[in-house]
Amino acid sequence: MKENNRGLGLFTLLVYIFLLGPLVIIAFASFEPGTVLKFPPQGFSLKWYQKIFEVEMFMSTFKTSIVVSILRNLFALLLGVPAAYALSRFDFKGKDALNGFFISPVLIPGIVLGFTMLKYLIVTYHLPLYTALLVGHTVIMLPFIIRVIASSLSNFDFAIEEAALSLGAGRLGTFFKVVLPNIKSGIIAAILIAFLESFNNVDISVFMTGPGISTLPIQMLTYVENYFDPTIAAISVLLMLFTAVFMFLIERLMGLSYFTKR
């Protein structure tokens, strides 16, 4: 029994090393004082972190990623909240098929989905790049919005809603005054998760960007094609911290148990 526990512990350690090892290497390499990315670093310097804020293309694409992610989040919420409510509140024919349709964007490989959107949104329907980018990311954010809010609604007692309706409140007023306030933590968590998915997305964005329109992850790919200095490692560390803060907020709002249900 002890040998099995040791074997399991060793296997778990190897998995952690496999998952976290590259992140640790990138973190240390970002402090390399030289002009070439190296591990282990030959010294300690923060100049590559300073360079991030001096390079205009990083700052402009960061702003674009933030603004576009907020807009996409708004569109996804307008579609996702009513959809999650309907799927959780009512039983109707085709409910499972509709739920599968909403979740399908996370099941389709991103490259396939991105190429399909390029073919139809841009090539066939000639949508502007910015509009196509908004549509594409709204589609990939929608499953996260619906899944998280539906999980939150699964803990909501709809008898409260029925009580409000029986006392004369309208259905729309009940939704905004009774239902939404009781699932606000789920809505905030859904917003954060969808924002991260959109902000860090590459496989869809690479097809939806072009001259004059780019996101930070795509700009990082373009930069690394031409330069091999530790700037990208420094940006990666900041993005890891950015993601860690968001995940901490999500855990504080909902807890991991919400994402293991249903």
Q: What is the pLDDT of residue 208?
A: 83
pLDDT for residue 67 is more than 60 = yes
User: Is residue 74 pLDDT above 80, yes or no?
Assistant: yes
- Give the domain range for residue 169: 46-258
- Tell whether the model's pLDDT for residue 261 goes beyond 50: no
Residue 24 included in any domain:
no
Reported pTM:
0.78
Structure tokens at 70: 């907020």
User: How many percent of the chain have pLDDT more than 90?
Assistant: 2
Mean pLDDT, residues 64-71 taken together: 86
Domain count, the chain: 1
- Give percent above pLDDT 70 in the chain: 95
53 part of a folded domain: yes
pLDDT of 260 above 50 = no
Q: Is 1's pLDDT higher than 60?
A: no
* 4 falls within a domain: no
- HSE-CB of 246 using CA atoms within 13 angstroms: 18
In a domain, 40, yes or no: no
Residue 157 lies in a domain: yes
CATH number at residue 114: 1.10.3720.10
Residues 195 and 155: their CA atoms lie apart, in Å, by 24
Average pLDDT across the chain, whole number: 84
Give the model's pLDDT for residue 259.
45
Residue 262: pLDDT band (50, 70, 90) is very low
- Residues 260, 213: contact at Cβ < 8 Å? no
Contact predicate 77/191, CB 8 Å? yes
